[in-house]
Structure 1
Amino acid sequence: MQERPITERIETYRDSYSQLYEGLKWKADKHTLMMIAAMYVTNSKEFHLKKYLDIAEYIKDNVGAFSYLKSAQRFSIAATLDTTTDDGKTNFHRFIEIYEKLIKNGFSRNAYSYIAAGTLLKVEPIRIDEIVQKTGDIYKGMKGNHFFLTSSSDYPLASILALCENDAEAIVNNVEEYYQALQEKGFSSGNDLQFLSHILALDSEHIPDAKAQQCWEIKELLHKANLKTKKVYYPYVGMLSFLENKESVINDLLVINEELNRDKLFKWNKEINFMMSVLFLMSSMTVMGDAARTGLTISIEALIQAQQAAMTASITAATVAASSSNGNT
């Protein structure tokens, strides 16, 4: 699929979401369906409902009775397979092999390990053992620097960082340099700042202090435009720092965000709409150098994978709460 204007991307997103909602409204929550629709748009992949549902059903039929992939998570994994490979069913078995390699390397058997495995589908088979080892080393380094902030929800970020050219130690050190530089610029410490430092570390061409200054400037511009500046949006500030003409970009972002907020399908999901606005704006940028474009593509993937992780966590928490309120153990 060729690059298209943002208006066409939004229309495609709307159409894909409508199809997903009709087909899965009793099986997956709206936020997950929004994310899945966005995966097709940002990967410039045509959405075909029947093909997608066939992959999701194939996953369900080829996992054990107690697998996480019997749950609604299979729908996001099906989208990962469909948007990043040429044959979702065939590559599902390679996906499971990667997942098992992550488990042998110390990862827990949980939803986040599946998401991490999905990010490594693009790795050449001859390099997969090396990258899995590197993923584990990066995660251990992250844990060493921020023991209480780092958890299994960071598995996907570790796997994406492992795709960078530098060795694991250099990557972890770079992440920490960004974290400290951002703190000095007034960004609040915590999980969201750690995520932002990961996003920025994907681009090795900038100096942490200079990049932190750019992020602060963008945060201020978002605030003046009455757009989102809460801690949870820190990673999206990092995404916008890839662009040079900041004022113009914020104006474009405001237009996209308002259009989504007016849409009857999405108007009750304003926080997700802001995130989607950033993704659509950034994925439409074509006038960029190769290095920046590569970093941007990886960053978009990082945000989507992390969004999967966040939604998985919220769905799991809601399920546990419902179970407790019903008196189940």
Structure 2
Amino acid sequence: MTERLRNKCDLFLRNRNAVSKKFMLEKGMMSIAAGLIFTGADKEADIEKLTECRKLLNKHTGFFSEYRDAVKLALLSEMALSEAPEQYIEDVKAVYKKLHKGKFRDNSYMVLAAMLICDLGKQDSADEIVEKHNEIMKQMEKQHPILTGSEDISYVILLALSDRPVDTMISDMNECFDYLRKTCKIKADPDSVQGLSEILALTDGNIREKCDKVISIYNILKDNKADITGGCAFSALGTLIGIDEAPEAIAAEILEADTFLDGCKGFDEKSVNKNQRLMFAVMLSAESFEMASSVISNTFINNALGIIKAQKIATMITIISNVLPTVLGAVIDNVSEKNDNSDTKESEQKASES
């Protein structure tokens, strides 16, 4: 295990333990989720600030509010990482109202979606994001009606935040899904394959080349008896695409992290299943490598929550912790390039006029 990965694992364990000790009444998986958020931001969990943020949350929301339900610890963690926690919760509430009008299907997903948008500073674009989200969901439901549901909202929010055209992303998703299922005959369940397809469609690049890299890592993990044949861990493999390393090196780090976690209290088979633990290993490994594209240092709130089930909460949070920084880096690179080209053209035009 590399020193960087070991440091990530140690930080994750410290954060998870600190949060679970203070918030003992919360579901165990949510303390893991909060630990992942702080670790993704490369920060020690600030328990004092978390406690202060809980008071702020109680001040600004009702007792039975959706903000205090399944999403609470994730929301508190993001508030604690914010420079202005009170303004943060106000912004989230304002965006949430817009999303609610956009007919999202589940309140927990809407809260997380609002947090995503605020973390990106996209509050003023909420209406356009909702419109793009609805268009993507409409096309997905038409082509994969059985597979598409509330659990896809988290990925689709990311797709809606991307500046890639809807038709291009849908085309990539469909090609990826068919390639993995029909050509490569991947044994993972269809929902996991669709989740992976959505992640891989977030960024530019040849979709089959991205699929091939995932398959290479998948095969190495499977050959080493890792529980990678489906579930949250399989979809999480999509977060590794931005790593400019050989599949063998990436898989080796994942296996090292999985073995490390297996020996830690709270991560044995009595506490989490093998697939969940492997998912955490994928996340920690992804953060231990340098990404090929620009990566934003801050970690943003993760994927939409799976309603009340703590298992799905941790699953969704992990995926976004990995995907979003890479996606944002690619988006910012693209915007920067467009701005540079625009400035160049403007300068050339002025020069010709003079």
> Tell me, what secondary structure is at the counterpart of 1:305?
coil
Distance 1:189 1:280 in 2: 24
The structure with more radius of gyration: 2
Partners of 1:153 and 1:214 lie apart in 2 by: 25
Whole-angstrom CA distance in 2 between matches of 1:222 and 1:228: 8
Match in the other structure for 2:251: 250
CA distance, structure 2, for counterparts of residue 228 and residue 119 of structure 1: 30
CA contact (8 A) 2:221 2:255 kept: no
Corresponding residue for residue 115 of structure 1: 112
Aligned twin of 1:90: 87
| C-alpha spacing 1:53/1:136, structure 2 compared with 1 (3 Å) | farther
Aligned residue for 1:202, secondary structure, equals coil
Q: Partner of 2:224 in structure 1? A: 225
Name the count of aligned residue pairs.
Answer: 302
RMSD of aligned C-alpha atoms?
A: 2.5
TM value normalised by structure 1: 0.83
Mapped to 1, the partners of 2:97 and 2:41 lie a distance apart of: 26
Q: Which residue of 2 aligns with 1:259?
A: 260
User: Using a 3 Å threshold, how does the CA distance of structure 1 residues 172 and 209 change in structure 2: closer, same or farther?
Assistant: same
Q: Confirm whether residue 211 of structure 1 aligns to residue 224 of structure 2.
A: no
Identity of aligned residues (%): 19
Which amino acid is 2:286 matched to? M
Looking at structure 1, the residues matched to 60 and 311 of structure 2 have their Cα atoms a distance apart, in angstroms, of: 22
Matching of residues 133-152 of structure 1 within 5 Å: 133-152=131-150
Aligned to 1:101: 98
- Residues 251 and 172 (structure 1), Cα distance of their counterparts in 2 relative to 1, 3 Å cut: same
Counterpart selection for 2:275 from 263, 271, 278:
271
Please report how far the alpha carbon of residue 287 of structure 1 lies from its aligned counterpart in structure 2 after TM superposition: 5.5
Indicate if the aligned counterparts of 1:99 and 1:114 stay in contact, CA closer than 8 A.
Answer: yes
> Which residue is 2:73 aligned to?
75
Alignment partners' CA distance in 2, 1:109 and 1:149: 17
Moved over 4 A (4+): none
Structure-2 residue corresponding to 1:314: 309
Instruction: Say if 1:200 and 1:238, in contact at 8 Å, map to a contact too.
Output: yes
Q: 1:315 to 1:40 in 2, by over 3 A?
A: closer
Is the CA contact (8 Å cut-off) linking 1:218 and 1:241 kept in structure 2? no
C-alpha separation between the residues in 2 aligned to 1:75 and 1:119?
15
Counterparts of 1:89 and 1:274, CA distance in 2: 35
Match of 1:128 in 2: 126
1:58 pairs, out of 53, 56, 59, with 56
Match of 1:323 in 2: none
Distance 1:315 1:8, change over 3 A: closer
Which residues of structure 1 form unaligned runs of 5+?
318-329
Pick 1 or 2: higher relative contact order, CA cutoff 8 A, min separation 6.
2
Cα 1:146–1:301 shift into 2, 3 Å: farther
Confirm or deny that 1:172 pairs with 2:170: yes
Q: Which moved more, 1:273-282 or 1:125-134?
A: 125-134
Structure 2 Cα separation of the partners of residues 16 and 316 of structure 1: 18
Offset of 1:24 from its aligned partner?
A: 1.0
Query: 1:38 and 2:36 equivalent?
Result: yes
Alpha-carbon distance in structure 1 between the residues aligned to 2:255 and 2:106:
40
5+ residue gaps, structure 2? 313-354
SS state at 1:45 partner: coil
Give the superposition deviation at 1:137.
Answer: 1.9
State the 1:131 CA deviation.
2.0
- The answer (yes or no) to whether the contact 1:103–1:109 under 8 Å persists in 2 is no
Contact 2:222–2:229 (CA under 8 A) maintained in structure 1: no
Task: Give 1:320's aligned residue.
Answer: none
1:103-151 deviation line (CA, Å, top 9, x unaligned): 1112135211111111111133433322232222222222222212222
